[in-house]
Amino acid sequence: MTRLTHEQRSDIEQRLRSRRRELLSEIRTALVESGDHTWAELAGRVHDSAEAAVADVLADVNAARIDREVTELRETESALTRLAGPAYGDCADCGAHIPVARLLVQPGALRCMNCQTRVEHALGRPPSL
């Protein structure tokens, strides 16, 4: 299996840094929006249980969105840290080289496809890229 070239590492680093900037912006925006439209305020204006349920769902959706973005931000930061070292691109489980094509598509990949499929199967999720 081929190791990453200097150009490929540079490309991956640029994409990770760009995604980090996007995520930070999205998280800031979501937090500002949640401050502008406080869910407690919205819930206080509801007139029946259906409106209260909608207010709860909106609050949950916003919290889930922020949680997802924070998780991805942590994964992106972790990938940038690994990229700075010599072990970037090695599977965290079996130690094999992760194919360059996979890293170019999924720069934060921790595992080769075989190990990732095994982990996702154990978690009851469909395999991801």
Q: What is the pLDDT of residues 61-75, one digit of tens each?
A: 778 888 999 999 999
Rounded to two decimals, the pTM is 0.74
**Per-residue pLDDT at 40 exceeds 60:** no
Is 44 in the same domain as 24? yes
Is 96 in the same domain as 75? no
Q: What is the pLDDT of residues 94-121, one digit of tens each?
A: 999 999 999 999 999 999 999 999 999 8
| Tally of domains within the chain | 2
Is 107 in the same domain as 81? no
How far apart are the C-alpha atoms of 33 and 105, rounded to whole Å? 31
Is 110 in the same domain as 71? no
**Per-residue pLDDT at 125 exceeds 60:** yes
Is 94 in the same domain as 84? no
Q: What percent of the chain has pLDDT over 90?
A: 57
Q: Where are the alpha helices (DSSP H) in the chain?
A: 6-36, 39-44, 49-83, 100-105, 113-123
Is 79 in the same domain as 96? no
Is 83 in the same domain as 98? no
User: Which structure tokens are listed for 119?
Assistant: 């982990």
| Predicted local confidence at residue 3, as pLDDT | 81
| Predicted local confidence at residue 35, as pLDDT | 65
Is 48 in the same domain as 104? no
How far apart are the C-alpha atoms of 88 and 79, rounded to whole Å? 8
Is 64 in the same domain as 124? no
How far apart are the C-alpha atoms of 2 and 100, rounded to whole Å? 7
Structural contact between residues 43 and 55, judged by C-beta atoms closer than 8 angstroms: yes
Task: Give the contacts of 26 (CB within 8 A, at least 6 positions apart).
Answer: 69
Is 95 in the same domain as 77? no
Is 25 in the same domain as 44? yes
Phi, psi of 90 (to 5 degrees): -95, 135
Which residues are bridge partners to 97 per DSSP?
90
Return the residue matching tokens 């130690």: 95
Is 57 in the same domain as 12? yes
Domain that holds residue 72: 1-88
